[in-house]
């Protein structure tokens, strides 16, 4: 069997897997009857629908010819990993190190995702954004955001 | 007669210096909040609730209302400029607005959104004043069956706007509905799909998904492309104002959007959201082959923007007359009313006429202020676009991160957003459109609740959705929509095939 559309094949597979996982999950909750639907009732219907639709997409991707095979193409590992890691680091650092240190870390890290990295520009951005986000979020909107690392404040 | 007297009373209240100030303050704050991605009106109003203890009821509500439509407008601004819909109802605006911005026509898009919204706001205000009493009669006829069918119609409408494959769009809706099942079941109190993680029992935040999938997914895919292919903006900004041609195209769209929005906004349950989706669909159909939808058509901005503003206005009707909040912001306004000792419901109109009509008049005032405030600002927003991408994306990332963190002041949401950034990139790679997913996610809990209530009432008979005339009508409309979508798409595909031969 040859895959006729890469993108559809993988999205179909994704839908089927999600459907099956949610369906299995739904069996943990009481189904009830249609006169008294329980917490598992609606999720089960949805997940079955999901799996069926996924199967249909999958079937289509194996039977209907698409010009060029609809390839997924190269995966942008660098931006993907860098951005996701920066968000996670931001989450971990903010409560402990405060805004003043977390923002420059975030800016430095995310800037690595791009294909140009110039120290001058990155540092300037970091300074501007740190002051800016303090002014907007803490001063202006009075949000409760930790400002300084735990050892200072 | 009555209408004029009532409006006169309302404007008398709205035009006091104090109330004008609060309306202005609310609109400015709302716009700022709307422009900052991630920080929604819900979070802001929630934060401001304690501070209104010191205010009188009327100025407090006027300010909250100002925040509400200010944020609506600000949310459209980010949707157009950086493809991050700040508000659920501006998801649709992002589709064509962002494309226009990329082609250097951000000014035209912003102006169309602003002027369309203002017009719709004016009409909406008059409609509230004139039709509040009779329109509530219609809402009274809505049972759970009707709500459910209405949401089916709304979701089908969302499918129509997805530009890719129909079946994948439907799958994305279901995926959204499923994601919304991660919560605590309202009826039985069972925590579902939470894996014993306490944060998950409250469900995933709308902003977390929107931010991860739209905001970060977009950044990653942009960075993944070689610089010369990057889908950012053209340097040439073609004027701040819409051209004559733009005006000609946009006006009818504004009129249609306003009409749709005013009608759908009355229905409790995400009226403004449904309205913007429906308006987009209508515009797409009306334009037919001449449309450039999905590639930067001004009608795709003007129609939905007018619709969601008109809907935002008329969605005050169920709140003011029935005490039913149609969305989260309204729920907080109801909360604010109760803080001030006013029981929301039909009696507000008679017991607090000053408040009722003053609020309505100040909606118009607030809308006027928004236009005055925002049109001159367009130039500044445009300037933002000329900032090179390597400065822009760390800034967007930062604002999204802070926005997500401040939602609940917890880092769990930040980690979830990181996960959804990956999901968003996967969707992008597999050409699955995320907009229908978001709508499914928002409507999911309401849909389930109404489905279960309807089944409970009918003792398990699914036929109940087809027996009740209003519900059946809505379902038939949904079915018709699918048929209509299918027909032209078959047609256009045939045309393509013909051209290739």
Banded pLDDT at B175 (limits 50, 70, 90): very high
Within 13 A of B174's CA, how many CA atoms are on the CB side? Answer: 26
State whether A82 and A115 are in the same domain.
Answer: yes
Tokens 């839908």, located at residue? A15
Nearest CA-CA distance, residue B154 and chain A, Å: 17
State whether A118 and A100 are in the same domain.
Answer: yes
Beta bridge partners of A37: A32
CA distance B83 to B329: 23
State whether A99 and A134 are in the same domain.
Answer: yes
State whether A119 and A81 are in the same domain.
Answer: yes
The answer to whether B171 touches A15, Cβ cutoff 8 Å, is: yes
The answer to whether B103 touches B234, Cβ cutoff 8 Å, is: yes
Structure tokens at B297: 């058509």
Question: Last residue of a domain, which of A29, A49, A69?
Answer: A69
Judged against a pLDDT cut of 50, whether residue B495 lies above it is answered with no
Q: Phi first, then psi: what are they for B192, rounded to 5°?
A: -115, 140
**A145–B462 CB contact, under 8 Å:** no
Nearest residue to B435 (alpha-carbon basis) of B95, B205, B109 = B95
The answer to whether B433 touches B163, Cβ cutoff 8 Å, is: yes
Question: pLDDT of B203-235, one tens digit each?
Answer: 787 778 877 887 787 788 778 776 554 545 555
Report, as an integer, the average pLDDT of B132-153. 72
The answer to whether B356 touches B348, Cβ cutoff 8 Å, is: yes
Average confidence (pLDDT) per 10 residues, chain A, 153 residues: 81 93 89 84 91 91 77 82 91 88 89 81 88 80 78 69
**B181–A46 CB contact, under 8 Å:** yes
B9: Cβ contacts below 8 Å, ≥ 6 apart: B353, B354, B357, B358
Banded pLDDT at B160 (limits 50, 70, 90): low
The answer to whether B84 touches B399, Cβ cutoff 8 Å, is: no
Sign of the torsion formed by the C-alpha atoms of B36, B39, B45 and B50:
negative
Q: Phi first, then psi: what are they for B183, rounded to 5°?
A: -170, -165
The number of beta carbons lying within 10 Å of the beta carbon of residue B34 is 28
Position A89 scores a pLDDT of 92
Q: Is residue A1 part of a domain?
A: no
CA distance A24 to B182: 14
Judged against a pLDDT cut of 60, whether residue B492 lies above it is answered with no
Nearest residue to B223 (alpha-carbon basis) of A118, A105, A81 = A81
DSSP state of B53: G
Percent of chain B with pLDDT over 90: 2
Helix (H), strand (E) at residue B390: helix B389-408
* Secondary structure class of B191 (helix, strand, coil): strand
B365: Cβ contacts below 8 Å, ≥ 6 apart: B14, B15, B20, B23
Facing A47 at nearest CB: one of B178, B422, B456:
B178
pTM of the model: 0.71
**A121–B190 CB contact, under 8 Å:** no
Question: Last residue of a domain, which of A53, A69, A85?
Answer: A69
**A90–B414 CB contact, under 8 Å:** yes
For chain B, what is the mean pLDDT?
76
Nearest residue to B266 (alpha-carbon basis) of B324, B306, B305 = B324
The answer to whether B265 touches B275, Cβ cutoff 8 Å, is: yes
Helix (H), strand (E) at residue B192: strand B191-192
B309: Cβ contacts below 8 Å, ≥ 6 apart: B69, B72, B73, B116, B117, B118, B120, B121, B124, B261, B272, B367
Tokens 């009481």, located at residue? A30
* Inter-chain Cβ pairs, chain A and chain B, closer than 8 A: 193
Q: Is residue A147 part of a domain?
A: no
Position B210 scores a pLDDT of 75
Sign of the torsion formed by the C-alpha atoms of B161, B163, B166 and B171:
negative
Nearest CA-CA distance, residue A100 and chain B, Å: 13
Position B49 scores a pLDDT of 63
Which residue range is the domain that position A92 belongs to?
Answer: 77-140
Facing A87 at nearest CB: one of B39, B44, B414:
B414
State whether A118 and A81 are in the same domain.
Answer: yes
B381: left (phi over 0), alpha (psi -120 to 50) or beta: alpha
Position A19 scores a pLDDT of 93
**A11–B432 CB contact, under 8 Å:** yes
Question: Last residue of a domain, which of A48, A69, A90?
Answer: A69
Using an 8 Å CB-CB cutoff, list chain B residues near A121: 390-391
Within 13 A of B51's CA, how many CA atoms are on the CB side? Answer: 11
Based on the number of CB atoms within 10 Å of its own CB, is B235 exposed (0-12), middle (13-18) or buried (19 or more)? exposed
DSSP state of B229: G
Facing A76 at nearest CB: one of B220, B394, B415:
B220
Position B500 scores a pLDDT of 32
Using an 8 Å CB-CB cutoff, list chain A residues near B389: 114
Q: Is residue A120 part of a domain?
A: yes
Judged against a pLDDT cut of 80, whether residue B254 lies above it is answered with yes
**B219–A83 CB contact, under 8 Å:** yes
State whether A52 and A87 are in the same domain.
Answer: no
Q: Is residue A130 part of a domain?
A: yes
Number of domains in chain A: 2
**In a mutagenesis test of the A interface, which of B37, B395, B398, B441 is the best target, namely the one with the most A β-carbons within 10 Å?**
B398
Domain boundaries, chain B: 2-500
Using an 8 Å CB-CB cutoff, list chain A residues near B425: 76, 80
CA distance B28 to B5: 30
The number of beta carbons lying within 10 Å of the beta carbon of residue B501 is 4
State whether A63 and A83 are in the same domain.
Answer: no
CA distance A19 to B184: 20
A131: left (phi over 0), alpha (psi -120 to 50) or beta: alpha
B162: left (phi over 0), alpha (psi -120 to 50) or beta: beta
CA distance B63 to B376: 22
The chain B residue lying nearest A10, using CA atoms, is: B430
State whether A118 and A85 are in the same domain.
Answer: yes
Q: Is residue A148 part of a domain?
A: no
Report, as an integer, the average pLDDT of B310-318. 78
Q: What is the largest CA-CA distance in chain A?
A: 67
> What pairing do the DSSP bridges indicate for beta strands B183-184 and B191-192?
antiparallel
**A141–B421 CB contact, under 8 Å:** no
Position B501 scores a pLDDT of 29
Based on the number of CB atoms within 10 Å of its own CB, is A149 exposed (0-12), middle (13-18) or buried (19 or more)? middle
**B181–A84 CB contact, under 8 Å:** no
| Prediction ipTM score | 0.90
Structure tokens at A61: 């991707």
Judged against a pLDDT cut of 80, whether residue B236 lies above it is answered with no
Question: pLDDT of B382-441, one tens digit each?
Answer: 666 666 777 778 887 887 888 788 777 788 888 998 999 999 899 988 888 777 787 788
**In a mutagenesis test of the B interface, which of A11, A24, A59 is the best target, namely the one with the most B β-carbons within 10 Å?**
A11
Position A46 scores a pLDDT of 92
Percent of chain B with pLDDT over 70: 76
State whether A32 and A12 are in the same domain.
Answer: yes
The answer to whether B55 touches B62, Cβ cutoff 8 Å, is: no
**In a mutagenesis test of the A interface, which of B430, B448, B458 is the best target, namely the one with the most A β-carbons within 10 Å?**
B430
State whether A134 and A100 are in the same domain.
Answer: yes
CA distance B187 to B113: 40
Q: Is residue A33 part of a domain?
A: yes
Position A147 scores a pLDDT of 82
The chain A residue lying nearest B457, using CA atoms, is: A35
């Amino acid at each position: 069997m040859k895959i006729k559309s890469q993108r559809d094949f993988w999205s179909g597979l994704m839908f089927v897997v999600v459907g099956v996982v949610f369906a299995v999950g739904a069996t943990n909750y009481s189904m009830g009857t249609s006169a008294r639907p329980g917490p598992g009732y609606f999720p089960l219907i949805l997940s079955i629908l999901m799996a069926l639709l996924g199967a249909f997409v999958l079937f289509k991707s194996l039977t209907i010819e698409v010009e060029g095979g609809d390839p997924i193409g190269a995966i942008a590992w660098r931006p993907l990993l860098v951005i996701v890691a920066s968000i996670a680091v931001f989450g971990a650092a903010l409560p402990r190190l405060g805004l003043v240190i977390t923002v420059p870390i975030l800016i430095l890290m995310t800037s690595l995702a791009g294909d140009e990295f110039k120290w001058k520009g990155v540092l300037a951005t970091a300074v501007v954004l740190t002051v800016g986000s303090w002014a907007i979020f803490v001063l202006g909107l009075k949000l409760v955001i930790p400002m300084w690392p735990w050892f200072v404040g | 007669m009555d209408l004029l007297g009532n409006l006169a009373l309302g404007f008398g209240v709205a035009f006091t210096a104090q109330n004008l100030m609060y309306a202005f303050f609310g609109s400015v704050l709302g716009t700022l909040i709307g422009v900052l991605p991630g920080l929604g009106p819900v979070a802001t109003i929630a934060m401001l609730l304690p501070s209104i203890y010191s205010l009188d009821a009327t100025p407090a509500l006027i300010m909250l209302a100002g925040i509400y439509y200010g944020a609506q407008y600000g949310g459209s601004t980010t949707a157009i400029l950086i493809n991050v819909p700040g508000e659920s109802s501006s998801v649709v605006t992002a589709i064509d607005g962002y494309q226009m911005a990329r082609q250097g026509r951000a000014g035209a898009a912003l102006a169309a959104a602003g002027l369309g919204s203002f017009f719709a706001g004016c009409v909406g205000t008059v409609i509230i004043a004139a039709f509040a009493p009779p329109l509530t009669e219609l809402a009274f006829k809505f049972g759970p069956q009707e709500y459910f069918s209405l949401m089916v119609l709304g979701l089908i409408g969302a499918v129509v706007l997805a530009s890719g494959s129909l079946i994948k769009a439907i799958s994305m809706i279901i995926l959204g509905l499923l994601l919304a099942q991660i919560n605590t079941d309202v009826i039985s109190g069972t925590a579902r799909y939470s894996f014993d993680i306490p944060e998950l029992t409250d469900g995933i935040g709308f902003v977390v998904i929107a931010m991860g999938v739209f905001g970060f997914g977009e950044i990653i895919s942009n960075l993944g492309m070689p610089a010369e292919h990057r889908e950012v903006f053209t340097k040439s900004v073609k004027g701040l104002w819409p051209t004559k041609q733009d005006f000609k195209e946009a006006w009818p769209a504004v009129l249609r959007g306003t009409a749709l929005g005013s009608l759908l906004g009355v229905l409790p349950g995400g009226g403004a959201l449904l309205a913007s989706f429906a308006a987009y669909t209508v515009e797409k159909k009306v334009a037919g082959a001449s449309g450039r939808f999905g590639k930067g058509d001004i009608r795709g901005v003007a129609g939905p923007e007018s619709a969601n503003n008109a809907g935002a206005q008329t969605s005050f009707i169920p709140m003011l007359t029935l005490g039913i909040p149609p969305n989260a912001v309204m729920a907080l306004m109801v909360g604010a009313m109760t803080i001030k000792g006013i029981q929301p419901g039909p009696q507000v109109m008679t017991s607090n006429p000053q408040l009722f009509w003053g609020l309505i008049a100040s909606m118009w005032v607030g809308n006027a202020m928004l236009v005055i405030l925002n049109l001159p600002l367009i130039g500044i927003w445009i300037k933002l676009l000329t900032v090179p991408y390597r400065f822009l994306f760390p800034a967007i990332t930062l604002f999204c991160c802070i926005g997500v963190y401040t939602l609940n002041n917890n880092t769990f949401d930040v980690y979830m957003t990181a996960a959804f950034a990956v999901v968003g990139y996967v969707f992008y790679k597999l050409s699955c459109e995320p907009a229908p997913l978001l709508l499914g996610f928002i409507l999911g809990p309401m849909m389930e609740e109404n489905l279960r209530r309807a089944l409970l009432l009918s003792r398990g008979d699914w036929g109940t959705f087809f027996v009740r005339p209003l519900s059946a009508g809505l379902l038939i409309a949904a079915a018709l929509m699918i048929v209509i979508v299918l027909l032209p798409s078959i047609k256009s595909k045939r045309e393509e095939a013909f051209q290739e031969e």
